[in-house]
A and B are shown apart, each in its own frame.
Chain A
């Protein structure tokens, strides 16, 4: 399946090291257009511009959590179909179920590998292609 490598990606994490790591891994996978946000609260107005084709977010952030950001996205008629991947240290079954209920497209538990990220992205966009 062919994924559009030109898509705009928003990387949300309160730790700058993790944003950098995710960006580098995405670059390795051939993506090149990224923006960063250090919290759900700073990400939300960015997302609302409608610029992003894919959101990769952490869960545990000080102002607005990733799960809240996801709920905001899903509740907005214009944004609700944006693919959303959570990369987080939160690993409780109940949390993963909650994320699924909120409409997450993929869930990666930290620490993770480049192969896992690649696999999840493939899966997410295969499903997106099916939907269309």
Chain B
């Protein structure tokens, strides 16, 4: 890239001269002139980039991957991550409940043995069990730590989604008019063949069974 605004050698010499002569005001003015040239170049580059971006966006087909991703996949990410947070939260709480219950049971057992005055090996054993149960509880802090990370990722994805929408709406495209992803019977089948994990989004929940009973009903209808 070449720009009309090149740095003038005479200006640099003048600056050097001004500094040597101790003319600080003149020197400051020349520095301003020089940086203005740089700023001008930067401005031109940004303009060029923006034009390129607009052109590229305008040239996209209605079903270009970036448009489909923005409309259909990015909102899914948040939904999927929230599913992960809920599942880990449930699992951690179940584990905590079990560990709490077990601690209570150990306490009951200890007080029923030897009139509650445990000695030697028994006492040591109860302390060790309590220690292990406390470790199980502490290990559940992964839910908080991973949850904080997921919250951050959700924030980033949501911001990215908004920026892309904004960009699209400034191009010739109409966000609402971006079509559904063309799903051929083969591509759907291929996806199903591969398997896709838990159906966690509203969209992917369509046409799924709710429970094992549903599965059994379905199979029994087929005589299995």
A residues sitting closer than 8 Å to B (CB atoms) are 13, 15-18, 20-21, 24-25, 28, 60, 89, 110-114
Contact = CB atoms under 8 A, between A and B. Distances in A.
A13 B137 contact: no
B141 A24 contact: no
* Most chain B Cβ neighbours within 10 Å, of A15, A16, A28, A114: A15
Contacts of A89: 144-145, 148
B143 to A, nearest CB: 4
A60 B143 CA distance: 15
A112 B140 CA distance: 11
Contacts of B144: 13, 15, 17-18, 89, 110
A28 B134 contact: yes
B142 interface: yes
B96 A17 contact: yes
B140 to A, nearest CB: 5
A20 B141 contact: no
B89 interface: yes
B86 to A, nearest CB: 12
B89 A114 contact: no
Given A17-B92, A20-B93, A20-B96, A111 B148 contact: no
B110 to A, nearest CB: 15
Interface in B69-93: 89, 92-93
Contact of B89 (A16, A28, A60): A16
B209 interface: no
29 contacts: A13-B144, A15-B89, A15-B143, A15-B144, A16-B89, A16-B93, A17-B140, A18-B141, A18-B143, A20-B140, A21-B96, A21-B137, A21-B138, A21-B140, A24-B96, A24-B99, A24-B100, A24-B134, A25-B134, A25-B137, A60-B148, A89-B148, A110-B141, A110-B144, A110-B145, A111-B142, A111-B145, A112-B138, A113-B138
Interface in B97-143: 99-100, 130, 134, 137-138, 140-143
Given A15-B144, A24-B134, A110-B145, 12 more contacts: A15-B143, A15-B148, A17-B143, A20-B96, A21-B140, A24-B137, A25-B138, A60-B148, A110-B141, A111-B141, A113-B138, A114-B134
